[in-house]
Amino acid sequence: MGYLGNHLATVVTGVFAAILTGLWPYFVDFAPILNFVFIMAVPITWFLTFTCWISQKSTDYMHKYEIHENHSEKKSLSSSQTTQIYTSDGKQVSPTEIKVAQNELSGELNKLKESVKLKDSEIERLNQEISNLQTLVQIESLKTELANLKMLASKSKSKSK
């Protein structure tokens, strides 16, 4: 956290804005373009300083930042806290009940995985049968086409004689 309370960006931007503001009167007479640069830069840097300050205040508020809390206190608080789980009707659930429910759900999940594997193997078998049937249909259509060609060939031979 440091001495600045996480306001380092605010301080750096504020110092830069103050320096620009302090230097402005010395450079007014040099060139009109330099005056224009200062007219633009000074308000922008003060706006950035204000934005940094507001955002840090917001962050501090959202995280309820406490300056004097030690890291060891955080460890002791986190180790002493236990997770308590409640059912939808407001009853507290013990860790053993959670383990039993996890085991039951794991068993059901394994059963579902096995049934999915069986279904997958059955689908694969049916796909193989479909491809075999398609092959048989193709063979039969080829036989029919061959028989038609033989008939046409025999008719053309009988007409040519």
**More confident position, 81 or 13:** 13
Q: pLDDT by residue (tens digit) across 99-115?
A: 888 999 999 989 988 88
Does residue 131 fall inside a structural domain? Answer: no
Asked if residue 36 belongs to a domain, the reply is yes
In a domain, 4, yes or no: yes
The predicted pLDDT at position 80 comes to 46
29-53: average pLDDT: 91
User: What is the C-alpha separation between 49 and 18, in angstroms, rounded?
Assistant: 10
In a domain, 35, yes or no: yes
125 domain-assigned: no
The answer to the question of residue 24 being in a domain is yes
Backbone angles phi, psi at 157, to 5 degrees: -70, -40
| Residue 55 pLDDT class (50, 70, 90 cuts) | very high
Q: Has residue 160 been placed in a domain?
A: no
Residue 79, C-beta contacts closer than 8 angstroms, at least 6 positions apart: none
* Torsion sign, CA atoms 63, 78, 99, 84: negative
**Could you report the per-residue pLDDT of 107-152, keeping only the tens digit for each?**
998 998 888 888 888 888 888 988 888 898 899 999 999 999 999 8
Number of domains in the chain: 1
pTM: 0.40
Q: Is residue 80 part of a domain?
A: no
Per-residue pLDDT, averaged over 49-70, amounts to 78
If you write DSSP's letter for every residue of 63-96 in order, what string do you get? TT--TT--HHHHHHHHHH----EE-TTS-EE-HH
Domain carrying residue 2: 1-65
Predicted confidence (pLDDT) per residue in 61-113, tens digit: 888 745 545 555 555 555 445 566 777 777 888 888 888 889 999 999 899 88
